[in-house]
Amino acid sequence: MQFATAECVTAELGCVSDASKFAGVTVNLALWVAFYPSFTRGKKIENFAVIIVGAGGSGLAAAASCAERGLKTLVLEKQSRIGGTTGIAIGSFTANRTKHQQRAGIDDSVDDHAEDAGKFPKPDIEARNNDELRRYFLSHTGETLDWLMKLGLNFHGPSPEPPNRVARMHNVVPNAKAYIATLQSHVLRHEGKIVCDAQVTELIVENDRVVGVDVSINGNTQRFHADCAVVLAAGDYANSGAMISRFKGNEYSEIEGINPNAHGDGHLLAESVGAELLNMDVTYGPELRFVPPTSKRSDFTQLLPSHGPAARILGWLLPYVPNALLAAFIKRLLVTWQHPEDSLFDDGAVLINQTGQRFCDETEWPDREIAVAQQSGKVAYILLDESLIDSYSHWPKFISTAPKIAYAYVADYLKMRPDIAVEASSIEALAKLRGIDARQLSQTVDEVNQQRGSQDSSSPSPRNRQLSGRRWVLLGPAKAYFTTTEGGAAIDQSFRVLKRDGSHIDGLYAVGQNGLGGQVLWGHGLHIGWAMTSGRLLGKLLADQH
């Protein structure tokens, strides 16, 4: 069994001091003493006011909100580290009527934000949104941002993101790991307990009320009782092939999730006691993304302080950082996390697999992503010739972007991601750099040119341009990913989980991705905004009831 302490997160950030190590050992020892009888004898049932399943952003926000209000709180995390999908995100928080907006002279409203949020999804997806719940969420985002700043978090912004009519995107300093470190510290400071390597296997129901959980820890099952609430906060199901296949279709089952641990555990627990699940076929993606760096060397951003005085100083200084320097900082994140633009394929880029063969029509979504997931290793490469390299080296053509903030071009990928970007003067030399059969790749280019040469010349298109030149770039490996899933348990505005008949399941609550309640939250910063806001509000509601 492993207990999460402040040491767990700060070690990952590369900033553990001797004092923090000592504090971490002290907390670990205290927690072990508190729990030792339960795990050794297997007879005692530990009682808490609130039990939270999952230690990602929503779970820790709920735990922090509960613990600071005096509720005895336990957080159970199946992984050996806390953080979930929030911990690997960039960390944007989209909110309205914030202090940052006021300082920037921005006049905003809940109504405007609710209307703009509906412009991100396509109309058929937006039609399925729970308008009332999303508006309720957006009406509390400014308060949540204030709460997070009082806990010690710092934000830069607001930044624009069309189609938002005003700037609403607030970016946490230095990245989303700051949420995890700060919330975790707050939970422990208020005597909340976080247990890692603890897989919740069953919800315990007595007299039609969820009263606790069974947990597998080190191969042993332990039962915990919740006097007030069991809260599901276990993330999405983007990496559950079984759930994706069941709700979206078998053809998508081989596509992976950005978070490899997102298996829909909370959704399945909710369903096991009769919860209604909404919008389970709605996903953000699939989309092509370059694989993340495999180097164990910490990225520069991981070395930046995430909490404490140093983080506050960094937050104060950011507004005075020149835009060019800030864009360069964000650009490093772009080449790691953002997807390549579809315009690449509209302009003639070709997708090849590890054997050097072209295997799909690159312009057809989502058939393209489905085809990539069926290739060896589930990977593909994007081939650019000299003309494409020139085009995607300056505005208005770019490989990836954070809209109106920063843009990444071919040279940026060659410089910052040499693990996924290589250049050569010939097709043969390029193939060797990636271990691809040079003869097959040359044959593929010949076949593409032959096909394009036979196209109707009366309607010229960049898509029909033949590949040529003395500069060639290969970007990849890339994989097809689901970024997140929009399905979740039906909930009311008190975060109570609902059945199909609209009645609530007594004692069971859901936040974050487990409790989306039919909302569609596309656009940067809305999922983290919902995770933090739903967690904060739930703690307040439970404390009022307890």
3-class SS letters over 227-280 = EEEEEECCCCCCCCHHHHHHHCCHHHCCCEECCCCCCCHHHHHHHHCCCCEECC
Q: Are residues 394 and 307 in the same domain?
A: yes
Directed axis angle between helix 6-13 and helix 177-189, to 10°? 160
Does a structural domain hold residue 525?
A: yes
Q: Are residues 334 and 475 in the same domain?
A: yes
Pairing of strands 472-482, 380-384: antiparallel
Q: List the structure tokens of 82.
A: 């806390």
Does a structural domain hold residue 413?
A: yes
Confidence at residue 133, expressed as pLDDT on a 0 to 100 scale: 98
Mean pLDDT of 367-373: 98
Q: Are residues 229 and 347 in the same domain?
A: no
Mean pLDDT of 533-537: 98
pLDDT digits (tens, 9 = 90+) for 91-129: 999 999 999 999 999 999 999 999 999 999 999 999 999
Q: Are residues 535 and 390 in the same domain?
A: no
Structural domain harbouring 307: 289-452+462-482
Does a structural domain hold residue 237?
A: yes
The rounded percent of the chain whose pLDDT value lies above 90 is: 77
Q: Are residues 209 and 262 in the same domain?
A: yes
Confidence at residue 23, expressed as pLDDT on a 0 to 100 scale: 38
Give the end-to-end CA distance of the chain in Å, rounded to a whole number: 30
Q: Is 155 helix (H, G, I), strand (E, B) or coil?
A: strand
Helix/strand number for the chain, H first, E second: 20, 24
Confidence at residue 220, expressed as pLDDT on a 0 to 100 scale: 95
Does a structural domain hold residue 509?
A: yes
Mean pLDDT of 370-396: 97
Would the pLDDT of 315 be above 60?
A: no
- Count: domains in the chain: 2
The pairs formed by 165-168 with CB atoms below 8 angstroms and a separation of 24 or more are 165/112, 165/116, 166/101, 166/106, 166/107, 166/108, 166/112, 167/101, 167/104, 167/106, 168/94, 168/95, 168/96, 168/98, 168/101, 168/108, 168/113, 168/525
Does a structural domain hold residue 352?
A: yes
404 pLDDT band (50/70/90 cuts)? low
Q: 282-286, 304-308, 368-372: which range is least confident on average?
A: 304-308
Question: Does residue 300 or residue 107 have the better pLDDT?
Answer: 107
Q: Are residues 333 and 418 in the same domain?
A: yes
Does a structural domain hold residue 305?
A: yes
Q: 42-56, 229-243, 248-262, 326-340: which range is least confident on average?
A: 326-340
Confidence at residue 546, expressed as pLDDT on a 0 to 100 scale: 82
Q: Are residues 474 and 325 in the same domain?
A: yes
Q: Is 163 helix (H, G, I), strand (E, B) or coil?
A: coil
Q: Are residues 294 and 440 in the same domain?
A: yes
Confidence at residue 414, expressed as pLDDT on a 0 to 100 scale: 97
Q: List the structure tokens of 178.
A: 């700051």
Query: Mean pLDDT across the chain, nearest whole number?
Result: 87
Q: Are residues 436 and 535 in the same domain?
A: no
Q: Is the preceding omega at residue 286 within 30 degrees of 0, hence cis?
A: yes
Would the pLDDT of 30 be above 50?
A: no
Question: Tokens 């959980």 — which residue?
Answer: 213
Does a structural domain hold residue 222?
A: yes
Q: Are residues 276 and 381 in the same domain?
A: no
Q: Are residues 335 and 267 in the same domain?
A: no
437 pLDDT band (50/70/90 cuts)? very high
Q: Are residues 280 and 305 in the same domain?
A: no
Q: Which CATH number characterizes residue 424's domain?
A: 3.90.700.10
Does a structural domain hold residue 196?
A: yes
Question: Tokens 């983007």 — which residue?
Answer: 238
Dmax (CA) for the chain in angstroms is: 81
> How far, in Å, CA of 532 to CA of 530, rounded?
6
The rounded percent of the chain whose pLDDT value lies above 70 is: 83
Confidence at residue 306, expressed as pLDDT on a 0 to 100 scale: 45
Would the pLDDT of 40 be above 60?
A: no
Q: Which CATH number characterizes residue 520's domain?
A: 3.50.50.60
Confidence at residue 294, expressed as pLDDT on a 0 to 100 scale: 76
Q: List the structure tokens of 204.
A: 């315990």
